[in-house]
A and B are shown apart, each in its own frame.
Chain A
Amino acid sequence: MSAVEFRNIDIVFGSQQKRALALIDEGRTRDQILAETGAVLGAAGVSLKIERGEICVLMGLSGSGKSTILRAINRLNEVARGEVIVEHRGKAIDVAHCDEETLRDIRMHTVSMVFQQFGLLPWRTVRDNVGFGLELRGTPLAERNRIVDEKLAMVGLTNWAGKYTHELSGGMQQRVGLARAFATDADILLMDEPFSALDPLIRDKLQDELLDLQKRIQKTIVFVSHDLDEALKLGNTIAIMEGGRIVQAGTAEDILLRPANAYVAEFVKHMNPLNVLRGTAVMRPAASLTREGDSVVLDKHGRVRVKVDGENRPIALELDGRSGIMAAADGDAGVIDDQRAQEADCIVAPVDLRLKAAIELKRHTDLPILLVDNLGRLAGLCDDDEIYRGLLRRLDG
């Protein structure tokens, strides 16, 4: 079961819902619907699955409907048609049509939210703001204080508990917002452009902190952003929206390498691919390399070959008949021990090696890089040609 699933939802703002829905079915655009009915199309035909523990970024320009569908997850926006399934206490609940009691239970226990303008209550101290959700839930004071202290420590605001929110900087205020969302221990966090109101340095820092926290808490995070860099940095999956519709959903690489249409292509044109692309996206797959018996030919002239075992794991390197040395690299950082690099003739790295790390390795050693999957099996080859191709973002075929 996915943590959140949109099933073909339409969201319409305005009184003429029925007529607007009919027009959506006719495939009219947002402008046509607005002109004819006065209703604003918020989202149309959106279907999306968000798996447990992942960060899903809803991406798009303002007015594309990304916040609109985010708010359907806790029914701050009503859905005109379709279902919004949320996993709540082990059951799949349709938030769009559940009763008030269930909705309230979901809001108190399963889904919490961080707002762009923080949404903090100015007459409350930091402590009372963080405890707000618990207070609504009726948690006894002692337990509330214990949880609040824990969450304040988590976001590094322990010394600010007694201050009022206006005494804090923007970045700190949003940390309060984060702590408040964490305090209810909800499994699903909705983040509506939480870092957009902050200056770039603070934004970057909070993004890092969020990724760091996510490693520990493993929540399902639905994150709205209009900033592609932010989306690519945070998102396990990214859904790009335009005019109330999802135009493409997939991993960062998918979107970068295989834009679904001109709109997405334009969107990602100016992206720096180094941090996004991984070995899998650029490598020449092992299957397409020439095989001779139990060895795979790595270069054009057949002078460099790698011997593989029955499981397809590289075991030995052959250079013009003499045996070469393979050295393993740390895939994350793109570093290799200098001493070993001197002696080696080939580098073995994990297949999810980032392109940036691959270039770093090539610059250091000028050796071909063999990519292996997590079981050690040969996955592909990443050499100059593949790297250049990746940078130019051209794919075979």
Chain B
Amino acid sequence: MYDWITAHKIPLGLWLKNFVDLLTEHGQAFFDFVSLVLGNLITGLTAALLFVPPLLLIGFFAVAAWFVHRSVGLVVFIVGALLLVTNLGYWQATIETLSLVLCATLVCVVIGVPIGIAAAHRPWLYTAIRPILDLMQTIPTFVYLIPTLVLFGLGAVPGLISTVIFSIPAPIRLTHLGISSVPPNLYEAGKAFGATKRQLLFKVELPYALPTIMAGITQCIMLSLSMVVIAALVGADGLGKPVVRALNSVNIAMGFEAGLAIVVLAIVLDRVCKRPERPSKKS
């Protein structure tokens, strides 16, 4: 019995490989186009950020953080953290990672928020995409790293795509949560005063869901950041590279420093993205 079962292997892997082959064969132009657009986006952003002298950019970040949060402590922390990263010699890698994370988040938001809204309005759609979202978050990253490599070639783009696959469920889920938790009476208030579907979305649903959507975006940034090492494996530049290199050469010092830079960047991004305290809502 056992022999029979093992003898007749279901060619699942082969099917999937054939599918990917089919995609490469017929969709190459499309994937090349996506690759080109995303590649240029990342390199453009990186180049722009690196064009500015590091100290000036740090100063700019500090001023921006001040205007959003009005907190001296936060500004001091940001300046200190970024200076530490510069001091360790990882300024360029940090900027590369930052632009990868920002691009991934941008793609996630552009795709994820509309999907979340659509899913909130159509319960069947959410039922349909939920298992896919679960799959995207649980399947080991390396598994889909291989087909993305085949489809998009080596470099930052497959890293970005893998990052997006891993982190896009967060904004989708939280947008869905935010929109579907709009209290019925607010919804009715909108309708009773003659709001169109569009007005309901922009004047009632999105403002109500905004804090939740922002939490989704923050989560998305954090998840993207956790992918930098994986992205480095397929050739994306950034803080992941020294970590991978340190791993290969058993270089404890380099691994620790690069790891620390990632953590520092994560904390800075988390603190900056946290929404300033809003007056609490009373229903």
Contact = CB atoms under 8 A, between A and B. Distances in A.
Contacts of B208: 121-123
Contacts of B188: 76, 115, 119
Contacts of A113: 189, 192-193
Contacts of B203: 121, 132, 135-136
B204 A121 contact: yes
Interface in B69-96: none
A360 B196 CA distance: 56
Nearest to A166: B282
Select the residue from B183, B280, B282 with max chain A CB neighbours within 10 A: B282
A112 B190 CA distance: 11
B178 to A, nearest CB: 13
Contacts, number: 69
Contacts of A365: none
Nearest to A111: B192
A238 B223 CA distance: 60
A104 B196 contact: yes
A107 B279 contact: no
Contact of B185 (A74, A108, A115, A123): A115
A107 B192 contact: yes
A19 interface: no
Interface residues on B, range: 20 to 34
Chain B interface main SS type? helix
Interface in B173-232: 183, 185-186, 188-196, 199, 203-204, 207-208, 210
A136 B191 contact: no
Interface string A68-105: 00000010100000000000000000000000000011
B189 A107 contact: no
A116 B283 CA distance: 12
Interface residues of A, number: 30
Interface in A100-158: 104-108, 111-113, 115-123, 132-133, 135-137
B281 interface: yes
A123 B207 contact: yes
A160 interface: no
Contacts of A112: 192-193
A107 B194 contact: yes
A113 B191 CA distance: 10
A326 B283 CA distance: 60
Nearest to B278: A123
Contacts of A136: 190, 193-195, 199, 203
B281 A166 contact: yes
A119 B194 contact: no
Contacts of B280: 166
Nearest to B282: A166
A133 B195 CA distance: 8
Nearest to B187: A119
Contact of A115 (B189, B196, B207, B281): B189
A177 to B, nearest CB: 9
Contacts of A74: 192
Contacts of B279: 164, 166-167
B194 A133 contact: yes
A25 to B, nearest CB: 30
Nearest to B196: A104
A123 B280 CA distance: 10
Contact of B192 (A76, A118, A122): A76
Contacts of B189: 113, 115, 119-121, 132
Nearest to A74: B192
7 contacts: A104-B196, A107-B194, A117-B183, A122-B282, A123-B208, A166-B282, A190-B192
Interface of B: 183, 185-186, 188-196, 199, 203-204, 207-208, 210, 279-283
Interface of A: 74, 76, 104-108, 111-113, 115-123, 132-133, 135-137, 164, 166-167, 180, 184, 190
Closest 10 CB pairs of A and B: A119-B189, A107-B194, A108-B194, A133-B193, A113-B192, A166-B282, A119-B185, A122-B281, A104-B194, A117-B185
